[in-house]
Structure 1
Amino acid sequence: MARPFTDPRSAHQKIAAGLRRQITRGDLRPGSQLPSTPALMEEYGVAGTTVQKALQMLKEEHLVVGQPGKGVFVQGGTQRSISPEVYMPPTRDGQPYRWISEAEKRSQRGSVTLLEVEPVTPPYEVRQALGLADNGQALLRKQILLLDDEPTELARSYYPLDLVEGTAMVERRKIKGGTPTLLASLGYPPVSFIDEVSSEIPTEEEVVALELPRDMPVMMTFRIVHAKDKRPIEVSLLTKAAHKYRVRYAIRLT
């Protein structure tokens, strides 16, 4: 038998969590009206101020919106599934970066803001994945990926210096077709990748970059991309808002 445990969160946080789950999993659809404040007070046995605090959390997360004189309505929708393998192959015939072309298929506008390009000493786990010494350096390309002008992912990608020196990757500019296309042109097309996905408390950089509401965890993906002979050609730390996205993996077992 499980040992006794009581949810330590405040009442308004628990109410917001319950409503949030109904929104992100599709039980409350975009445009549908939430129960009135009196109805929520009765359902949860709390005061009106507690209900208002819960609704304010959801408003800050852009999941609901208040309409004066009418009520509170669902604004956000279910979590969007992202399939990582879709974005990995190099593009062909001068096609745009796959983040942009895949967004177009969903009638969205994908864009990228390049924040930083410079040689750095990467974090410990990145150095380990790239086989670098403690003071070893790699090229960092940091960018924000947006959908319809909304920041969606903070991507910090590291590349072996000996692989990218003298190429367009070391310049502070976007790469036509994305870095997989450029790496392929160098003779190092990505052939496999490993993802480790975790839920973490965001850093200040991540909160600012992704415009996150209070007390919202992030989904962190630690990705190692290999070329042939299992050579690591990219290691990325990819951060998304945990309440908006989920990762979909389709794995063939036979």
Structure 2
Amino acid sequence: MTVPKTEADTYDRRSLHERIAADLREEIMSGDLAPGAKLPSTTQLTARFAASNATVQKALQLLKDERLVIGRAGAAVTVREHRQRTVRPASYSAPAKNGEPYRWLTEAEKQGGRARSELLEVTEATPPADVAEALELAEGGTALLRRQVLFIDDEPVELVQSYYPLAIVRGTAMMERRKIKGGTPTLLAALGHPPRLSVDRVSARVPTQEQYAALRLPSSLPVLRTLRVVYSDGERPIEATVMTKAGHLYELQYEFTPE
């Protein structure tokens, strides 16, 4: 028997200014409000959303904090140049060529801006359950964790936590707290573990306290969490990475040919 939905089941429990910001954000991100376009006036927005002037101003402030719009009280609010970047994961998963920097850096800079990484931690750690399962670790097993933040124009855009089986990295440069020339995929390939297959699992999540602080999020926007598992010869897992991206700054593009 189908149970009819009640008003409580469908009611949007967010505050009104958050709902207004969400609708305007969607129009900006989808291109209905293009860069340089003026947002409807406060009078128009108060009528459209049946909201007070103060509530509309709070909504606009959220969009300003996210750097989606620019403007000041009493003046027109204008859409900024879109900051969302389209990421093609397949383009930076392979090892860098000899002498080249980490592939993420080169791919990010192709879209403009200065890209850099900051290594936060290198330690042995017990991974989250999904990472441990992906790496086929025994219960309570540990792995090498390399944690870093990626920046574009000094803005943190991605928190990266990469885990590696100790059996293949112990005694190598990956155990040291320093950057690896060309990135860890290059070193893994040199150690005889070339990447053969990468599998991504992407989900949208509410940011944790650590993610919120590391990415300096302007509000409780969702983040994109990617669990990437890299396999080498014999389908051996050699890396499992949790990549947390600021949701308002990224979209992912996957390209494939239907069989």
- Provide the C-alpha distance between the structure 2 equivalents of 1:206 and 1:76, rounded to a whole number of angstroms: 25
Tell me the residue number matched to 1:120: 125
Aligned partner of 1:252 in structure 2 is 257
Give matches, 1:32-111, under 5 Å.
32-67=37-72, 70-77=75-82, 79-111=84-116
**Matched position secondary structure for 2:14:** coil
Partner of 2:185 in structure 1?
Answer: 180
Query: CA offset at residue 7 of structure 1?
Result: 2.1
Superimposed CA distance per residue, residues 8-40 of structure 1 (whole angstroms, 9 cap, x where no aligned partner) = 222211110110001111121222221121121
TM-score of the two chains, using structure 2 as the length reference: 0.93
Instruction: Name the SS for the 2:32 alignment partner.
Output: coil
Name the count of aligned residue pairs.
Answer: 254
Residue 189 (str. 1) matches residue 194 (str. 2): yes
Instruction: Determine helix, strand or coil for the equivalent of 1:249.
Output: coil
Contact 1:99 1:111 in 2 (8 A): no
Contact 2:98 2:182 in 1 (8 A): no
Residues in 2 aligned to 1:80 and 1:249: alpha-carbon distance in whole angstroms: 14
Give the Cα separation in 1 of the matches to 2:97 and 2:130: 32
Q: Give, as a single letter, the amino acid of the residue that structure 2 aligns with 1:136.
A: G
Offset of 1:196 from its aligned partner?
A: 0.8
Deviates more, 1:151-160 or 1:237-246: 237-246
1:209 paired residue number:
214
Where do 5+ consecutive residues of structure 2 fail to align? none
Q: Secondary structure at the match of 1:237?
A: strand
Which amino acid letter does the alignment assign opposite residue 49 of structure 2?
Answer: Y
Q: In the alignment, which residue of structure 1 is the partner of 2:5?
A: 3
Partner SS state of residue 71, structure 1: coil
Distance 2:120 2:81 in 1: 28
CA contact (8 A) 2:69 2:77 kept: yes
TM-score, normalised with respect to structure 1? 0.95
Q: Secondary structure at the match of 1:153?
A: strand
Which one-letter code corresponds to 1:52 in the other structure? Q
- Residue segments in structure 1 that go unaligned for 5+ positions in a row: none
**3-state SS of 1:100 partner:** helix
Inter-partner Cα distance in structure 2 for 1:108 and 1:225: 28
Give secondary structure in 1 for the equivalent of 2:28: helix
Question: What letter matches 2:129 in structure 1?
Answer: Y
Secondary structure of the structure 2 residue equivalent to 1:122: coil
Kept after mapping to 2: 8 A contact 1:110/1:147? yes
Letter in 2 for 1:172: R
> Per the alignment, do residues 199 and 205 of structure 1 end up closer, same or farther by CA in structure 2, a change over 3 Å counting?
same
Identity across the alignment (%): 51
- How many Å separate the matches in 1 of 2:112 and 2:252? 20
Query: Which of 236, 241, 256 pairs up with 1:231?
Result: 236
CA contact (8 A) 1:62 1:75 kept: yes
1:155 maps to which residue?
A: 160
Partner of 1:193, secondary structure, is strand
